[in-house]
Amino acid sequence: MRDEYLKAANKVITDPNILINVVSRRVKQLKNGMEPLVESLEKLEPEDIALREIIDGRISYELYAPEI
């Protein structure tokens, strides 16, 4: 995982726990065959692709709070 991507993505999603969850879910999707939402001239690992997608605003998240 590239440090510069991680730092930039952490500015978009400031909570580290949420960032980890978003990246891990997206990595699973990419490994299961989903197409990346960003293009790169270099070969990137799925984790770096997920971080780049977050940085570029291609991925968002929503917090779910169950009703009681």
Q: Domain ranges in the chain?
A: 3-55
For the whole model, what pTM was predicted?
A: 0.89
- The C-alpha atoms of residue 34 and residue 42 are separated, in whole angstroms, by 18
In contact, 49 and 43? CB cutoff 8 Å: no
pLDDT at position 65 is 84
In the structure, what pLDDT confidence band is assigned to residue 15 with cuts at 50, 70 and 90?
A: very high
Q: What are 21-61's pLDDT values in tens digits?
A: 999 999 999 999 999 999 988 899 999 999 999 999 999 89
Pull the structure tokens for residue 35.
Answer: 């197409």
pLDDT value at position 67? 83
Question: To which residue do tokens 């998240």 refer?
Answer: 61
Specify the pLDDT at position 63.
87
